[in-house]
Amino acid sequence: MSAIQDAMNALNSQWYNVLTQQAQLDPSTFQLVQGNMPVGTTSEQLWSMFDAVPPRSVSTFYEPGQISSFSQNYVGVISALLAQGQLQLAADMGDYYTQWNDYKKTISPLPQDNAGWYRAFSSWASANLPQSMVQRAISDFATMLEDPIATAADTLIQVSFAPKNPSVYVYTTTYEQLQQALNKAQPKTVSMNSETESTDVSHTWAKTEASGLFDIFAGEGNASYEQWTSQVIEAGLSIEVSFDKLVTLEAGPLKQKSSDAVLRDYTPWFNSGALGEGYANKDNTVWKSGDAITWESTFGANGNLQRYAAALVIVDGITMTMKSSAGIAQGSQEEFKAAVSAGVWPFFEAHGEGGWSNEATFDDSGNVTITSTCKAGNPQILGVIVLPITSIFS
C-alpha cells in the first residue's frame, strides 16, 4: 500500500471518529458512506439504499453494481428452505401436490391472506382429489399455513404477481417521511484537526481501519494531484463542517400492508420468522440438501446476510472549510483550483453538480483554504446504521 493510501486511510479513520463523537453517532453501529451519495427524489431511491447489505467496514463506497441486495439474498434463502408443514402435505398428496402447485400459479387474483388460500385449496382439493384424500390434505394445508417458511414462499409469489408494482421489494419509509423528518431536524457542527485526532477505530463494530478509496481530490488524478495530497496531509489540515439538518431515518423490509399513501400500493414481502427459522437450524431438515444456498453461504463468516441497514443518517445543507499550511506554489495554484473544482475529500462532488460549490483560496505563503458547500434541498446520505441480522428476527 502506498504512503498516500496509508495517509488517506488515516484521514478517513479520523473523520469517522470525529463524526461519531461530535454528531453523537454510535460507533457500535455507524458506517460512514464515502464520497458523494445524494438521497435522490423518490422513495424507490431510498429503498435501494436500505436494500444494500453493508460490508464489514467502518466506511465504504456504495457502488451500485457491487452492492449485495438484501431482498434478492432473502428470496434465495426462502427458496432454499423446507417448510415442515409443506413436507407433510407433499407426502400425503403424492403426485397431486405437483398438480396443486401448477394450479395455484393460475389463480387470479391471488389470495391476500391465509383465509383466502385456505378457501382456494379447499375448493381445488374437493374438486380434484380422491374423496379419501380430501380431508387429510385440507388439514395438512391448514397446518402448513401456520408455517413461516411456507407463508414466506407464498408471500413472495404474491409480490411477483401483484396487480400493482409487481416484484418491487419496498421498505417501511418514504421520501415524504424523510422530508418531514428533515423539517424537524437540528443542525450539527463537527471539527477535526489531523495532527491531534485519533486514527484508532478498534472500538467500532467492524474493528477495521476506514480505508480510503480516494485521494484528497476526486478528479482523474495525476502526479500533481498526488503531490498536493501529500503536501496537504503532511502539513496537517483542519476541517470544520456544518450541517443545517442531520436526521437518522429508520426503516425495515415491508412485512404487512401499510395505510401510508405511498406504501399502500405495494405488496409486503418479508417474513422475519422464516428467516429466523433458517438461522436457527443449520441441518438439512430445514435447508434443502445439495442446494447452492446454504446456512454457511447466508449467515456464515463470509455469508451474504450477516447484517443489514437499519437506518440511514442523512444531512442537508453542508458547509465545509478545510485549511492546510501546505504552501502551494503560486505557479501551481490555478491548477490546484481546477483540481478542487472537480471535487474534494470527504464528499467528492464536482463544482456545479448536485448543489455543490467548491473554491480554493491562498494566502501570501500559499497556505490553502478550501470551501465546499451543498445548498439546502440536496440531502446527502452521510452513513448507515448497521445491525446484525439477528436483530431483524424480533
**One domain, residues 163 and 273:** yes
275 and 370 part of one domain: no
- Residues 6+ positions from 9 with CB-CB distance below 8 Å: 1, 209, 210, 211, 212
Cell of 373: 458547500
For residues 192 and 287, membership in a common domain is answered with no
Residues 42 and 87 grouped into a single domain: no
* pLDDT for res 186: 94
Task: Quote the CA–CA distance of 187 and 315 in Å, as a whole number.
Answer: 9
- Do the Cβ atoms of 218 and 343 come closer than 8 Å? yes
Share of the chain above pLDDT 70, in %: 97
- Stated as kind and residue range, the H or E segment containing 140 is helix 131-145
What's the pLDDT at 64?
Answer: 63
Residue 259 sits in the same domain as residue 330: no
**Domain ends where: 277, 292, 309?**
309
- What average pLDDT score do residues 312-341 get? 93
List all residues 6 or more positions away from 280 whose beta carbon is below 8 Å from its beta carbon. none
* Model confidence at 1: pLDDT above 60: no
Q: Which range of residues forms the domain containing residue 43?
A: 3-65+173-251+310-393
In angstroms, the Cα distances linking 156 to 161, 295, 369 are 9, 20, 54
Last residue of a domain, one of 294, 309, 324: 309
Q: Same domain, yes or no, for 10 and 150?
A: no
Q: Are residues 223 and 336 located together in one domain of the fold?
A: yes
Same domain, 48 and 191: yes
Residue 224 has pLDDT above 80, yes or no: no
Band the pLDDT of 145: cuts 50, 70, 90.
confident
55 upstream amide cis, omega within 30 of 0: no
159-210 residue pLDDT tens:
999 989 999 999 999 999 999 999 999 999 999 999 999 999 999 999 887 7
pLDDT value of position 66: 65
- Do residues 59 and 135 share a domain? no
Pairing of strands 30-33, 59-60: parallel
> Is the domain of 90 the same as that of 188?
no
Q: What is the pLDDT of residues 253-290, one digit of tens each?
A: 999 999 999 999 999 999 999 999 999 999 888 999 99
